[in-house]
Amino acid sequence: MGCGGSTGHFGQSFRASGAQIVEEGNKKREVFVIVGVPKESFPGERRVALVPAVIPNLKKVGLEVVVEAGAGVEAGYPDAQYAEKGAKIAPDRKAVFGTADIIAQVLCYGSNDKTGKADLPLMRRDQVLIGFLRPLGSREILQEIAGAGVMSFSVELMPRTTRAQSMDALSSMATACGYKAVLIAADVLPRFYPMLTTAAGTITPARVLILGVGVAGLQAIATARRLGAVVSAYDLRPAVKEQVQSLGARFVELPIEAKNAEDARGYATAQDEAFYAKQRELIGRVVAENDVVITTAVVPGKKAPTLVTAEMVRAMVPGSVIVDLAAERGGNCELTRAEETISVNGVTIIGKINLASTVPYHASSLYARNVTAFLAHLVKDGKLNLNPADEITRETMLTRGGEVVNARVREFFSLPALVAQGGA
């Protein structure tokens, strides 16, 4: 079903001819595939899709980079650094979209529902779009993107395989979020994290609980441990116990077992309400014992499960802090308000979103390496090379030729299977 199995959905349709030699009179020159980097337009977004350091690597595979003026400034990458590495600076957004064969963004329309729609009129049919597109978000927005005729690739759909590890932008950004969540909590918490021995006496260390041990959770554990906190963590997947312990934290074990706790891609799967009710009953006591609770549990395409109830918040010591990394998906804490920080009975609940953007220099660097690895996979010898049998290409391609072509996404939205074109 979907776009698998037929070259009809993957055949080359591309404006630029790649790094080919063309003749102009008595002279010859190379024609490159052009990658455009517009400035991120989502309010408060400070990241940039490509950084100067990756441009030489892109040139090696036949890619030329055009960057909108000022695109990297807020992340700490001025235009001069791009120019020094061989990129061209375009005066405005329209010039980037009008020149580029491939558009590389962090938050494309789909993940950017505030300003992203303004990019649709700038796109051309068969132009390639790469970035965060929230493929399991809004069916209507995906169909708008498809209607623009672009060939879009969603980095959220990257397979969790060894081959694709260097392209895994979700993990890179989760690393940034987990790190920053601990620092935000430390800034608000009216206690020190580490144990301190002073002339005035000994200060006991703060206790930090991480709920959800994916990439963000693991980084939160590591960061809190580096700051000297006593850390414990819980996840419905027993397999992560060893990882938690390897970082010096205690794994919280509850007498309850999840069914099919993780899917083939390594993500936690949604459980029924009976499981979550029992989980909340058992974990309430653990929550009350901690000064900081950081929640990271999300299930792709679904509302985040409620792990911390209002009753649990009321049982926490005044001054305690909850940082809810699932705020954008409805929150793991029942009281979380997305994009807000609130206080309930003296407990601070932080629902900030887009935390990776608050460490833009390194978040951009990590993301740029992911995108560069993906571009090197898609472009060979200066030409777009789409192999229908390749899992990375097949699983990340979201739209093509006016259609949403990703099989997983079509199934999620109950769209009918596409009819294969160009033969079986």
What are the catalytic residues? 160, 165, 168, 171, 267
Distance CA 56, CA 255 (A): 53
Bridge partners, 349 (sequence order): 322, 342
Contacts of 38 (CB under 8 A, 6+ apart): 68, 71, 93, 96, 97, 103, 105, 119
Per DSSP bridges, beta strands 379-380 and 383-384 are antiparallel
Cβ of 27: how many Cβ atoms within 10 Å?
A: 7
Phi and psi, residue 375, nearest 5°: -65, -40
* Axis-axis angle for helices 215-226, 169-188 (nearest 10): 40
Q: Residue 400 belongs to what H/E stretch?
A: strand 397-400
Distance CA 152, CA 329 (A): 23
Tokens representing residue 341 in the block: 């920080």
